[in-house]
């Protein structure tokens, strides 16, 4: 249910229990009459506290409604919606927004995080011991391919077929899912700190991050691997050699899954006879993270 768990409005419908505004005359979720004299607004409002304006009431009362309210909170009339193309609930496939915690259609977890608690707990621990602060990222299970849109750097999408369905049972162990999430978090981190990609130390070690991206989505990567590859002397893995962004994300993944233990990482780089610039990539990331902790 869409309850007022964060106490934004301090009001919930007496009939369905979903969050509403004290100013509303009708529950926008079940249509119940919640009018209170002297409290409810006598004039239809656009967006009371805790809600956003998505469209005007279909019935023309002049009030505003937020997706996906089935009823107008001001006149009580039914509303018609088309599911947004932003995302789909991993439980019912109905449209959900990237920032919804609860699916308004089935009441399930709209993010899908409840399906991978072990993975997310492990990733959070790895980030913490690596000294990386939470930068506001949000992991979502979505159909399609895993990735991060540069326009929405904090939204990390993980292909839900890895978790739901035959594919997950046959192919994807949870430890590999940890590596996949860490890799995609590397993209999110880089997009979130994009100004760093213009700095000389980044350009010298990783290259131009904004060069044309021509990496195919079906490239296989062993995200379960925690050891640096023996091939490609200038990169930590074969996938890292495909593009500077992938180079950084793979370096980020190895750094996090190895808990930021630089002495251990640098020793392995020497054993694998990697080039000097592989040392520099880990050092550049390590020093940048130290700078971030210093700034805070």
Pair (158, 264) in one structural domain: yes
Pair (3, 76) in one structural domain: yes
24 and 34 Cβ atoms separated by less than 8 Å? yes
pLDDT in tens, 182-232: 999 999 999 999 999 999 999 999 999 998 887 766 666 767 777 787 788
pLDDT in tens, 252-263: 999 999 999 999
Pair (249, 223) in one structural domain: yes
Pair (200, 132) in one structural domain: yes
Pair (155, 37) in one structural domain: no
Domain that holds residue 99: 84-109
**229 DSSP assignment:** P
Pair (38, 167) in one structural domain: no
**Total number of domains constituting the chain:** 3
The mean-pLDDT minimum among 8-17, 22-31, 126-135, 276-285 falls in 8-17
Q: What is the pLDDT of residue 85?
A: 55
**88 DSSP assignment:** B
Q: What is the pLDDT of residue 84?
A: 60
Pair (174, 187) in one structural domain: yes
Quote the CA–CA distance of 178 and 121 in Å, as a whole number. Answer: 9
User: How many angstroms separate the Cα of 235 from the Cα of each of 26, 39, 128?
Assistant: 60, 64, 25
296 and 255 Cβ atoms separated by less than 8 Å? no
Pair (244, 187) in one structural domain: yes
pLDDT bin (cut points 50, 70, 90) of residue 172 is low
Pair (98, 70) in one structural domain: no
137 and 183 Cβ atoms separated by less than 8 Å? no
Pair (166, 31) in one structural domain: no
Residue found by looking up tokens 């009339």 in the block: 77
Quote the CA–CA distance of 224 and 162 in Å, as a whole number. Answer: 13
Pair (244, 178) in one structural domain: yes
Pair (144, 209) in one structural domain: yes
Q: What is the mean pLDDT of residues 72-78?
A: 95
The mean-pLDDT minimum among 71-80, 81-90, 230-239 falls in 81-90
């Amino acid at each position: 249910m869409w309850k007022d768990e964060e106490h934004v409005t301090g009001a919930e419908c007496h009939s369905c229990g979903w969050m509403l505004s004290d100013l509303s005359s009708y529950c926008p979720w079940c249509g119940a009459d919640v009018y209170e004299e002297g409290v409810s607004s006598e004039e239809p409002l656009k967006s009371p506290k805790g809600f956003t304006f998505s469209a005007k009431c279909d019935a023309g009362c002049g009030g505003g409604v937020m997706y996906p309210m089935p009823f107008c909170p001001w006149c009580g009339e039914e509303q018609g919606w088309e599911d947004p193309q932003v995302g789909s609930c991993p439980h019912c496939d109905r449209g959900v927004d990237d920032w919804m915690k609860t699916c308004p259609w089935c009441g399930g977890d709209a993010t899908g995080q409840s399906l991978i608690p072990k993975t997310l707990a492990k990733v959070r621990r790895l980030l913490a011991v690596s000294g990386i602060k939470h930068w506001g990222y949000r992991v979502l299970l979505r159909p399609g391919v895993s990735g991060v849109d540069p326009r929405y750097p904090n939204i990390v999408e993980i292909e839900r077929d890895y978790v739901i369905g035959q594919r997950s049972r046959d192919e994807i162990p949870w430890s590999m899912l940890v590596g996949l999430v860490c890799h995609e978090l590397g993209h999110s981190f880089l997009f979130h700190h994009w100004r760093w990609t213009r700095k000389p130390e980044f350009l010298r070690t990783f290259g131009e991050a904004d060069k044309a991206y021509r990496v195919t989505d079906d490239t296989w990567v062993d995200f379960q691997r925690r050891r640096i590859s023996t091939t490609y002397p200038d990169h930590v893995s074969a996938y890292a050699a495909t593009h500077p962004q992938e180079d950084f994300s793979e370096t980020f993944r190895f750094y996090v899954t190895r808990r930021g233990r630089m002495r251990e990482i640098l020793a392995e780089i020497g054993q694998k006879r990697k080039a000097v610039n592989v040392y520099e990539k880990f050092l550049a990331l390590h020093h940048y993270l130290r700078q971030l902790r210093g700034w805070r």
